[in-house]
Structure 1
């Protein structure tokens, strides 16, 4: 009898690993969202993965039924913001980890979908909030065809001294009581092809020329005259998340639609980027956990050499390191969300650590899981190849990890030590 058999089974952890006992509210959230993730998101995500991008968002697609069911869960923006900050942090961490466990693409579509509502509520703008009710799918448009990660570096912190931003692809002209929007946003606008309302970040011209550091944040109803859309992207992963270009041709709105003007623009970029990166940390902790759990179950079922493969040392060792990485990603992501919800000023570079750690973990764990499934993992008969593809996309979205690391490193500079 092996040493492992002599020592018996390890202490079984809870659904969220080495997590202290959850409060009644947190347990309710975990159980409710996990059931939704298991019964709705996973099967729908698999269906959407095998459809064309146009079919995914067409009327009658299971995408819309799943979205309605998510809205029906009742995790609306106002309710979340009414929670005491520490409880809100715990609730949102559990909520989005379970969504990421269910399907990464759908998790991002739900998270991005709430951004116009969330930011309007956080800025205390009742008019903009009225344009973005929870049930109305939203999108966040910031990157442009010629301006990717540099759009997230609005303060120019990591800009090369010999570089030039060049002409913005999208500009809001602020004149009197009106804002006029012209240009386009890149094909990577999450929910861009299906959303009803957009939180638009763009350069602004308030009379003294175009300024990319003093831009504007505008809540744009996407049925406004002059708004059009490109084709949804056909991607390797996260195919349940529709992404595509938005075009603005003399889109005229009242100034009431401006959520943040030129004087608040840098703070508004900081705020949404901080929230989005922390959100990515929790979502892809869930994706990593999904890959680990599938590999662990398969390692008990699959036999080679007359034994379940988990009895082979290399497989057991690989699984342990996968488990270790998931636990570390969860601990960091939850800690960052808690810090940012309870501190006087949220920390962007802390949010970046959560995003980079969790997304890198998700891809590494999914890659190891695929290796444990071996040849079977390459087939669509098993779910791991889809999770692997979904995780790969996360290393790029919301700022590619390389650029985030450079910007995060610059935030560590202490002028007093120079």
Structure 2
């Protein structure tokens, strides 16, 4: 039983029903929130309305954001790398929820730009750290004719007696070099401003691209973009997350030393699995921030807008709908934080945890942002109010970093495998 002398108002933090946050965590949350509010939201709003080519052009507000993010130290790789797993499980989600609350496209830009550097640091090799540790990067995995098949890299969901599609982008070993040919999909995040890539693609190690089960041999490598044969397409014009520039990159017999390979024939799939596990985990907490932003806009609006002779909040149905939005935001955060706790705990990490979070949160975020539009009525459909942008951002996230139904299918396979292993089937 809880005992009260009198009934108090609930005490809500920036992220709602917070439990106990340490002084350090509260300070990090406050600094990140102010950065998101003062820097990210104004820049994100500008970029959302710009032509994709203007977004990446010299003088674009995007460059101002990147410089200010670097100055802030919020995503310092060495500082994050020095944290314990327990600290990472609590501090990283605090940072990314606030950043995405500011603007999810910019938040994900900052994460993707550091993917190759993070991979270089993970190798522990001074050569790679020196070459790639300070470069802006991107994560090349999907191809024009290979989207969901990349998520199914181990080919558990393919039709019987078939092979994976050969794909457009592939590599081969030639002496002491890896030779890369083909193009990526247009959906590769940060490509238009990237100086290098963490590349995953099919690879011929001398026995062809295919394994006996119809799946591919893969390679993971760090690829500089200042080499002969590398070129880029136009930035993609898309529905949401417009601050996150995306585009294709072309490789015409691009040669890199074998020392740039970070995961070879037997390690490439586990390496990709790790990258996707991290990316999905970040998507879960990031779009919790987007859902929260939509809820907060709706909460403020219904206290100002009058209909039926009084503010909207005084109508019972509005209060009931608002509560459902708040409930969904809390559910998103709870599941996203649970994924972080699992992945940085003794039983993790695993894609099952991250995909469980990513798919639920992004689907629920679409529901919350849609309801925010509904509560704003006609105003919610206009670009004068931010909720229509949040809805476009949320809808994009159901496909980004793995289409939700495919991620669900892969997750169900992992559930089945775990069950069979546990019961001895």
In the other structure, the counterpart of 1:304 is: 307
Paired residues of 1:86 and 1:342 also in contact (CA < 8 A): yes
2-structure distance, mates of 1:166, 1:392: 28
Contact 1:109–1:190 (8 Å) recurs in 2: yes
Deviations 1:173-214 (A, max 9, x none): 123321111111100100111111110000111111114533
Report how far residue 166 of structure 1 moved. 2.5
- 3-state SS, counterpart of residue 26 of structure 2: helix
1:3 corresponding residue in structure 2: none
Which residues of 2 match residues 225-244 of structure 1 at below 5 A? 225-244=228-247
Q: Find the counterpart in structure 1 of residue 258 from structure 2.
A: 255
How many angstroms does 1:10 deviate by?
A: 3.9
Q: Quote how far apart the aligned CAs of 1:112 are.
A: 1.2
* Distance of 1:163 and 1:41 partners within structure 2: 47
Matches of 2:158 and 2:49 in 1, distance apart? 40
Paired position in structure 1 for 2:3: none
Q: Is the 8 A contact 2:143 2:168 kept in 1?
A: yes
Task: Quote the Cα distance in structure 1 between the aligned partners of 2:180 and 2:286.
Answer: 33
1:350 to 350, 353, 356: 353
Q: Is the 8 Å Cα contact of residues 120 and 133 (structure 2) preserved in structure 1?
A: no
Q: Give the Cα separation in 2 of the matches to 1:132 and 1:97.
A: 27
* Contact 1:78–1:121 (Cα < 8 Å) also in 2: no
Please, which runs of 5 or more residues in structure 2 have no aligned partner?
Answer: 1-5
Looking at structure 2, the residues matched to 101 and 265 of structure 1 have their Cα atoms a distance apart, in angstroms, of 33
Structure 2 residue 117 is matched with structure 1 residue 114? no
2:420 matched residue in structure 1: 415
Partner of 1:131: 131
Aligned-partner Cα distance in 2 for 1:364–1:10:
28
Work out the CA distance in 2 between the residues paired with 1:127 and 1:350: 34
Residues 213, 266 of structure 1: 8 Å contact kept? no
Distance 1:254 1:12, change over 3 A: same
- Mapped contact 1:190–1:241 kept (Cα < 8 A): yes
Q: Does 1:17 align with 2:16?
A: yes
Do residues 279 (structure 1) and 290 (structure 2) align?
no
Alignment-derived partner of residue 264 in structure 1: 267
1:406 pairs with 2:405: no
Instruction: Say which SS state the counterpart of residue 188 (structure 1) adopts.
Output: coil
Q: What CA distance in whole angstroms lies between the structure 2 residues aligned with 1:53 and 1:220?
A: 24
Q: CA deviation at 1:308?
A: 1.2
Structure 2 residue aligned with 1:158: 157
Match of 2:170 in 1: 171
1:222 aligns with 2:254: no
SS at match of 1:352: helix
User: What is the alpha-carbon distance in structure 2 between the residues aligned to residue 71 and residue 340 of structure 1?
Assistant: 27
DSSP 3-state at the match of 1:412: helix
Match of 2:158, SS state, is coil
Correspondence 1:294-333 to 2 at 5 A: 294-333=297-336
Q: Which moved more, 1:342-351 or 1:46-55?
A: 342-351
Pair 1:377-2:376 in alignment? no
Matched-pair contact (CA < 8 Å) for 2:372–2:387: yes
| 1:80-91 map, 5 Å | 80-91=80-91
TM-score w.r.t. length of structure 2: 0.93
Q: Is the 8 A contact 2:118 2:133 kept in 1?
A: no
SS in 2 for 1:65: helix
Alpha-carbon shift at residue 244 of structure 1 (Å): 0.7
Q: Work out the CA distance in 1 between the residues paired with 2:217 and 2:121.
A: 22
CA apart distance, 1:8: 9.0
Separation (CA, whole Å) in 2 of partners of 1:40 and 1:152: 34
Partner of 2:180: 181
- The match for 1:388 is 391
Secondary structure of 1:190 counterpart = coil
Residue equivalent to 1:37: 36
Task: Give yes or no for contact 2:285–2:333 (8 Å, CA) kept in 1.
Answer: yes
2: CA distance, partners of 1:126 / 1:387:
41
Question: 2:131, 2:335 → 1: CA distance?
Answer: 34
Flag the 1:165–1:396 CA change in 2: closer, same or farther, 3 A: same
Q: Is residue 363 of structure 2 the alignment partner of residue 364 of structure 1? A: no
CA contact (8 A) 1:131 1:219 kept: no
Q: Give the deviation of 1:342 after TM superposition.
A: 2.5
Tell whether 2:192 aligns with 1:193: yes
Q: By how many angstroms is 1:390 displaced?
A: 0.7
Looking at structure 1, the residues matched to 111 and 398 of structure 2 have their Cα atoms a distance apart, in angstroms, of 17
Corresponding residue pairs, total? 411
Q: Secondary structure, in 3 states, of the residue corresponding to 2:186?
A: strand
Query: Residue 172 of structure 1 aligns to a residue in which SS?
Result: strand
Which residues of structure 1 form unaligned runs of 5+? Answer: 1-6
Deviation at 1:9, TM superposition (A): 8.1
Secondary structure of 2:181 counterpart: strand
TM-score (norm 1): 0.95
